[in-house]
Amino acid sequence: MTDRSIASENGERRGAVEDRRRAILDAAVRVFARDGYHTSRVGDIAEEAGVAHGLLYHYFPSKDEVLATVFRENWGDLLARFRDVEESDEPADEKLRGIAKILLRTWRNDPALVTVMVREVARSPHLQEQVDDVREGFASIQRVIEQGQREGTFRQELDPRLASWVVYGALEEILTGWVLGQLPDGDEEVARAERTVVEVVCGGLAADPEPTA
């Protein structure tokens, strides 16, 4: 067997391993969203993923680690998208709109994942192990607010760190309302939520226009 064929075979094996790992995580999201994390068993995840019970432990040592991985990888994807918005050439108010759209549209794209992130991860004691990751999300919003203050778009007297918590808190509460079934969640409602939270938040952050002579 040539070196090229060996490399190709190894690549295929790695691809199969990653596909199986991804299938397990996707199955876990469905199970946790449907049945709740605490009442779910590792066997439920394995059955949903179509793999042997023992094989799941080859990828994840415990159900706790499955939940932690779901959070870590999906929150990491969100942070990467936040950074893309933050590093764009848009003004600060447009960047806040972009971040709001990213968070709120995750519900439309993957409601099961949002359910797990809001209902299970947020209540998990293991979230404390991910504090640095969570903090970076708030820091990204804070940097956008600071940019707006430098540009004169946002009010100078506001504490940008506290304001970032207010912004994220508003977005998370809308997601929570959808998860709990307390807010309508169709496509039109998602778009309306985007407009409302941006108008309320950006309106509250907006600097007063300079008086005309």
Name the residue with tokens 């007297």. Answer: 157
Span 99-144, pLDDT tens digits: 999 998 888 889 999 999 888 876 666 655 666 778 888 999 999 9
Say which residue, 160 or 181, is predicted with more confidence: 160
For residues 42 and 133, state if they share a domain.
no
Residue 7 has pLDDT above 70, yes or no: no
At 212, the pLDDT band (50, 70, 90 cuts) reads: very low
Count H helices and E strands in the chain, helices first. 9, 0
Residue 97 has pLDDT above 70, yes or no: yes
pLDDT of residue 9: 44
- CA 212 to chain centroid: 43
C-alpha to C-alpha distances, 127 to 65, 111, 114, 121, 193, nearest whole angstrom: 11, 20, 15, 7, 27
Range of the domain at 21: 1-61
The answer to whether 80 and 88 have CB atoms below 8 angstroms apart is no
C-alpha to C-alpha distances, 63 to 11, 13, 68, 74, nearest whole angstrom: 28, 25, 9, 17
Total structural domains within the chain: 2
Give the C-alpha separation, 130 to 75, whole Å: 10
Answer whether 0.85 is exceeded by the pTM.
Answer: no
Last residue of a domain, one of 36, 61, 86: 61
For residues 79 and 175, state if they share a domain.
yes
Question: Domain with 84 in it: what CATH number?
Answer: 1.10.357.10
